[in-house]
Chains A and B, each alone.
Chain A
Amino acid sequence: DSGVTQTPKHLITATGQRVTLRCSPRSGDLSVYWYQQSLDQGLQFLIQYYNGEERAKGNILERFSAQQFPDLHSELNLSSLELGDSALYFCASSAPGVGQREYFGPGTRLTVL
């Protein structure tokens, strides 16, 4: 158990819908990262938050957005869902300071029908 929690574990929805994925980082970790894992794209970095502020953006679609709240939990919002958005979405967290390792959560499996 990495200490990073993600809910829900599975999510099945229809095209065009909007969903919210939730992540709680390890206690004391200030950075939260979101990654998407799909069969054809592998593990791709989406976005990073550090202590409530957006720090970096990767290959995140405009239909996707995220935020980190004052209690440091984070939410990833996916809207206007398409079949191709079906994937595993992982959240990771790390403590402040250079060289701190990232701990990954168990992931949310999103299926868009």
Chain B
Amino acid sequence: QQQVKQSPQSLIVQKGGISIINCAYENTAFDYFPWYQQFPGKGPALLIAIRPDVSEKKEGRFTISFNKSAKQFSLHIMDSQPGDSATYFCAASIRETSGSRLTFGEGTQLTVNP
């Protein structure tokens, strides 16, 4: 019930291409779906997040698509750049006044070739 499944495990994209990472969740009580970016030796950093009452959210080159009925959401990175090479984690949580405990996907290692 608490799992978040992420795919693919690794992804290689050419500069300028579109990177797509997919996630699926089970717990319908989740109401917050963030994506985190992590560079080697650093902590995860929030990239973009969405709530289930919205089907899409775009911030710059990053877009989240959300399908509530399928319990799936995805991250699209447009015009991928070598600097985007990092590990990406999807996550889900139930927001409360005291905060949101994150359940993470397994991570996707993205490599953008120049």
Contacts and interface: CB of A to CB of B under 8 A. Distances in A.
Interface of A: 2, 4, 30-31, 33, 35, 42-45, 48, 50, 55-56, 58, 90, 92, 94, 96-107
A90 B89 CA distance: 15
Interface in B60-93: 89
30 contacts: A2-B43, A2-B45, A31-B99, A33-B101, A35-B102, A42-B89, A42-B105, A42-B107, A43-B89, A43-B102, A43-B107, A48-B98, A48-B99, A55-B99, A58-B101, A90-B44, A94-B99, A96-B97, A96-B99, A98-B95, A98-B97, A101-B34, A101-B49, A102-B100, A103-B46, A104-B43, A105-B43, A106-B41, A106-B42, A106-B43
Contacts of B104: 42-45
B59 interface: no
